[in-house]
């Protein structure tokens, strides 16, 4: 038992929800088992909520909304500041929880999963301090006001990171929230609720109800007292939430699937562009919606790229996520593991060239949901492995003949979340970036920017997270004519 599970067990939080400033028992008896994917063994049992729990949490958020939305921005920022400090103070506890619940290597959890989550809190705090909630346009005042009670639905792959990406800007905007984390990775969410409690969050401003998507997620989406839903998940889940939300005409922000391209221009430094492209595709073991899992390469450079890509993948260390030498742990859950294995098999059946990896676990691992980092080459743009989101460590190398053709292939997808372009001529890269239909484009692997808005075109969703635009998702616009004389 990890220290995180022990802490949650001894505190009694595993069987409770956080509602109206208190840890409360659920109204029903439903539970779910949390499985550690590294050992394929149960590690915790959590309570699952029902419609009554949703009603209770929404009522608490509704009751708290007026007071919280009218708090001065400085007071809301002070809460976020306290949350930020506590989250960093408890970094190791959160890292252990994330490793236990979804298999991230402990080094990656410490280096990325938790610190980047903390950055969302910091950015929301800092943006709140300078945001113009009222501005003049002639004699008219343009006011930006909190939209109301927000239901936040978060996924299992970046459990804490996606929580803070939603909770922080929502609270900064003056909204109150009900969080439904993934029931597959709920441990870090419970720890976050404890942080909110210890940070003296006013009762009802932040609430947490664990539960299944068809019950708690649908309950929030259809609830007449919820003003907005923000969901990160599969495109299928996003569609279902939007359908449930439609009768009440609430705002729905969706960050959904992706099949991001990485265009390696002919003048790129392949010795840098290819290894970093493999690393980007396989970060979090490929369980990232914006992972660039389609590498588009000039046909004349394919042979060299295959060698470089295979060498980069061979350096990855897949194994025990608690080992310091491990770079990549197990796949987060059995359904996702089976999906990855099935898609690798489909790639072989479709005739793609297997460069490295393949089906099954790495040779020395007999227990755990471990997948081999797999690279296919000579992938046709129409193959399923080139079109469908696999959500695992599977990279497709696709040849192109001309740059215009690379752009066409990049856009030949129902998704449009992220994209990458590598090269040496900045004007060419800028021109290519301008033609790609996606919410973000990265040129030559820049540093992550928590102020850069993130979201999708097409079936990758709508709305934006991160930075100023992320907070604006939780605001309504009011025009008051004749306000200024």
- On the question of pLDDT at 290 being above 80, the answer is yes
Average pLDDT over residues 16-35: 97
Q: What number of CA atoms fall less than 13 Å from residue 297's CA on the CB side?
A: 27
Q: Which one is catalytic: 101, 175, 289, 473?
A: 289
Enter the pTM of the model: 0.97
Q: What percent of the chain has pLDDT over 90?
A: 99
* pLDDT, average across residues 349-364: 95
Q: How confident is the model at residue 335 (pLDDT cuts 50, 70, 90)?
A: very high
125 pLDDT exceeds 90?
Answer: yes
CB 318 within 8 A of CB 337: no
Kindly state the tokens that stand for 134: 């009222």
Which of 370, 392, 332 is closest to 103 using CA atoms?
Answer: 332
Given the residues 119, 183, 255, 389, the one annotated as active site: 255
- What CA–CA distance (Å, rounded) separates 213 from 227? 18
Question: Residue 1: pLDDT band by 50, 70, 90 thresholds?
Answer: low
d(CA 390, CA 375): 13
- Position of tokens 């993934």? 182
For residue 3, pLDDT beyond 90: no
Tokens representing residue 469 in the block = 């635009």
CB 243 within 8 A of CB 231: no
Q: What is the pLDDT of residue 438?
A: 98
DSSP 3-state of 129: helix
d(CA 145, CA 134): 9
Q: Residue 217 carries which DSSP code?
A: I
Write out the two tokens for 290.
Answer: 């914006």
pLDDT beyond 70 at 394? yes
**Active site annotation includes 255:** yes
Confidence of residue 355 (pLDDT cuts 50, 70, 90): very high
Confidence of residue 295 (pLDDT cuts 50, 70, 90): very high
């Amino acid at each position: 038992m990890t220290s995180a599970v022990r802490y949650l067990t001894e505190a009694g939080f595993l069987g409770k929800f956080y509602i109206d400033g208190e840890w409360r028992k659920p109204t029903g008896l439903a539970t779910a088992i949390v499985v550690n994917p590294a050992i394929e063994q149960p590690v915790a049992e959590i309570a699952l909520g029902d419609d009554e729990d949703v009603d209770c949490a929404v009522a608490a958020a509704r009751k708290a909304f007026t007071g919280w939305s009218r708090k001065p921005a400085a007071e809301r920022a002070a809460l976020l500041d306290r949350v930020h400090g506590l989250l960093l103070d408890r970094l190791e506890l959160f890292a252990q929880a994330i490793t236990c619940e979804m298999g991230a290597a402990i080094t990656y959890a410490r280096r990325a999963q938790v610190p980047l989550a903390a950055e969302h809190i910091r950015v929301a705090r800092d943006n709140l301090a300078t945001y113009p909630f009222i501005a003049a346009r002639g004699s008219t005042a343009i006011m930006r006001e909190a939209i109301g009670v927000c239901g936040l639905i978060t996924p299992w792959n970046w459990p804490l990171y996606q929580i803070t990406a939603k909770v922080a800007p929502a609270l900064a905007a003056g909204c109150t929230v009900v969080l439904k984390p993934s029931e597959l990775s709920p441990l870090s969410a419970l720890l976050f609720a404890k942080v909110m409690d210890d940070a003296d969050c006013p009762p009802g401003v932040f609430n947490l109800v664990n539960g299944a998507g068809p019950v708690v997620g649908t309950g929030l989406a259809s609830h007449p007292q919820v003003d907005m839903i923000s969901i990160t998940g599969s495109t299928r889940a996003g569609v279902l939430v939007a359908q449930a939300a439609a009768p009440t005409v609430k705002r729905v922000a969706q960050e959904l699937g992706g099949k991001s391209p990485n265009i390696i221009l002919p003048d790129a430094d392949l010795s840098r562009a290819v290894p970093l492209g493999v690393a980007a595709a396989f970060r979090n073991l490929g369980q990232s919606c914006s992972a660039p899992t389609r590498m588009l390469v000039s046909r004349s450079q394919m042979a060299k790229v295959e060698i470089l890509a295979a060498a980069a993948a061979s350096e990855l260390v897949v194994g025990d996520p608690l080992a310091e030498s491990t770079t990549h742990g197990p796949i987060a859950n059995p359904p996702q593991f089976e999906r990855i294995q099935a898609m690798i098999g489909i790639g072989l059946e479709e005739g793609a060239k297997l460069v490295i990896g393949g089906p099954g676990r790495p040779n020395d691992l007999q227990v755990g949901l471990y997948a081999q980092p797999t690279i296919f080459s000579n992938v046709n743009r129409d193959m399923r492995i080139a079109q469908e989101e696999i959500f695992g460590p599977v990279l497709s190398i696709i040849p192109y003949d001309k740059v215009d053709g690379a752009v066409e292939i990049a856009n030949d997808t129902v998704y449009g979340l992220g994209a990458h372009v590598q090269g040496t001529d900045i004007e060419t890269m800028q021109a290519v970036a301008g033609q790609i239909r996606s919410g973000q484009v990265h040129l030559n692997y820049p540093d992550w920017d928590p102020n850069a808005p993130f979201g999708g075109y097409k079936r990758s969703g709508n709305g934006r997270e991160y930075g100023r635009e992320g907070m604006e998702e939780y605001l309504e616009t009011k025009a008051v004519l004749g306000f200024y004389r």
